[in-house]
């Protein structure tokens, strides 16, 4: 992502405020070169609840920007990509009423189920909102807060998402974007407006919500004189982390992404508004105007690493052959929808090796990921397009080879790592140049990386795993 002649300017800042930390990159608009970076951590509570102090996010942002030095002062625009779904409640002075409820706070699962039923079932939600809400969605969290902490609701004068909060600290304005708004459960993708019926059901005044800034619009200018920005620095709309990563990759519609992290995520940009009543595909909006259907698996790198540890093996110590099948559903599973499942091993023989068992765990995890991908992609999507492999597992040889073998498709591993921050930087650059931010990222060549050729798809392994899934349905579904 660098050019031989070096950075030419102007500069922009892209921010990734994730669950655990905030990162800032200063990027040259002309070349895409990262000229400076900084990072600072957050703290998150443990237990059933997952909460974080929004003030900490802003302190971390200031620290990360300070680490960028003079380069940040030369930036002409900034944009924030942030963790999705989190509920931030502010009082009349703009201070947090209580810690933010984060995306992975599952206490609101009963409220999510009730809201789905009250509005008429999953199909109504999918048709109107593009997604069927779960515990992660902001509307469920607000319903939980209203039920358990009514005094906090009464004290709330503004409701924000994490990226909204940081953008608001920069500009002094209350704004969001369609990408992040689409994960709330109160922004209807069918009309691209806040839905008054659901807001009424959960007792949320729409006046408390931020203005939705359109693609390419400016959210404001930096107002905090203590930040290392010059006066008049533009602030882009920002977006949620998945939409920012899609911008960071410069995705064309139909290009599939597999993100290999603790959990697995698959998505692709689409020109068609998603409406999946099963709830497996979240019909998010893309930050630049299209759509971003997305599906998750709960068990990915962490589950496979756990099985490697149980076997006393390095994570790369896989062996081919054998008849063993492992469904590594150590935390239940979301795709397929088996929330009460546990891990399952079958097909063990006297000559089965530990390496074959480890390979079976990889196969089981990738089988679930590819099943989720089939639901995400449009029917007419080109199945020969390389799969973009990102996330912590993407550089693992065993992960790469397993994805190739079970998908039958070429695999590309982008060299760029900070894709959320790069996507935010591309969004900031776009308000300076007038380009589509995905086009900016393509000009920066952010998806550049080795392409591994397709190999014949292992139909036998896929059918064996699918057969185990069918045969063990009763066992896997039991509570």
Catalytic residue positions, numbered:
241
Joined together, the tokens standing for residue 448 give 């550049």
DSSP 104-167: T-GGGHHHHHHHHHHTT-HHHHHHHHSS---TTSHHHHHHHHHHH-HHHHHH-SEEE-HHHHHH
Instruction: Report the b/e string of 238-264 with b at 16+ CB within 10 A.
Output: bbbbbbbbbbbbbbeebbbbbbbeebb
What is the rounded CA–CA span in Å between residue 81 and residue 241? 5
* DSSP classification of residue 324: -
- For residue 336, whether the previous peptide bond is cis, meaning omega lies within 30 degrees of 0, is yes
Residue the block writes with tokens 């000229």: 35
What is the rounded CA–CA span in Å between residue 131 and residue 124? 10
Alpha helices in 149-289 (DSSP H): 150-155, 162-171, 178-181, 196-202, 241-249
* DSSP classification of residue 97: S
Pairing of strands 234-236, 325-327: unpaired
* DSSP classification of residue 442: H
């Amino acid at each position: 992502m660098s050019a031989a002649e070096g950075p030419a300017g102007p500069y922009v800042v892209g921010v990734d405020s994730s669950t655990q930390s905030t990162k800032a990159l200063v990027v040259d608009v002309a070349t895409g070169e990262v000229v400076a970076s900084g990072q600072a951590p957050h703290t998150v509570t443990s237990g059933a609840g997952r909460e974080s102090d929004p003030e900490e996010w802003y302190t971390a942002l200031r620290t990360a920007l300070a680490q960028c030095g003079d380069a940040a002062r030369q930036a002409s625009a900034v944009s924030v990509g942030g963790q999705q779904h989190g509920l931030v409640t502010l009082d009349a002075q703009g201070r947090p009423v209580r810690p933010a409820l984060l995306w992975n706070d599952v206490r609101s699962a009963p409220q999510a189920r009730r809201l789905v039923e009250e509005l008429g079932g999953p199909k109504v939600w999918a048709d109107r909102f593009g997604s069927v809400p779960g515990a992660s969605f902001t509307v469920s969290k607000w319903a939980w807060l209203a039920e358990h902490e009514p005094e906090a609701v009464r004290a709330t004068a503004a409701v924000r998402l994490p990226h909204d909060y940081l953008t608001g600290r920069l500009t002094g304005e209350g704004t969001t974007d369609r990408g992040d708004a689409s994960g709330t459960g109160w922004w209807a993708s069918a009309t691209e407006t806040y839905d008054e019926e659901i807001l009424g059901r959960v007792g949320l005044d729409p006046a408390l919500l931020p203005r939705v800034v359109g693609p390419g619009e400016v959210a404001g200018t930096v107002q905090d004189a203590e930040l290392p920005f010059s006066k008049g620095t533009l602030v882009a709309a920002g977006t949620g982390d998945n939409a920012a990563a899609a911008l960071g990759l410069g995705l064309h519609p139909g290009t599939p992404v597999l993100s290999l992290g603790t959990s697995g995520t698959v998505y692709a940009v689409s020109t068609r508004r998603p409406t999946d009543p099963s709830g497996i595909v979240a019909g998010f909006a893309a930050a630049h105007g299209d759509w971003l259907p997305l599906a998750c698996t709960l068990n990915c790198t962490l589950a496979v690493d756990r099985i490697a540890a149980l076997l006393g093996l390095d994570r790369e110590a896989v062996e081919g052959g054998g008849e063993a099948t492992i469904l590594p559903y150590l935390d239940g599973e979301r795709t397929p929808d088996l929330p009460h499942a546990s891990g399952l091993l079958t097909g063990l023989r006297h000559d089965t090796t530990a390496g074959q068992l480890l390979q079976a765990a990889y196969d089981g995890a990738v089988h679930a990921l590819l099943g989720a991908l089939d639901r995400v992609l449009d029917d007419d999507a080109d199945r020969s397009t390389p799969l973009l492999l990102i996330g912590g597992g993407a550089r693992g040889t065993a992960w790469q080879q397993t994805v190739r073998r079970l998908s039958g498709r070429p695999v590309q591993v982008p060299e760029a790592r900070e894709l959320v921050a790069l996507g935010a930087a591309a969004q900031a650059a776009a308000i300076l140049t007038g380009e589509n931010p995905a086009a900016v990222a393509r000009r920066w060549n952010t998806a550049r990386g080795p392409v591994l050729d397709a190999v014949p798809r292992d139909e036998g392994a896929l059918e064996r795993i699918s057969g185990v899934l069918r045969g063990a349905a009763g066992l896997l579904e039991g509570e």
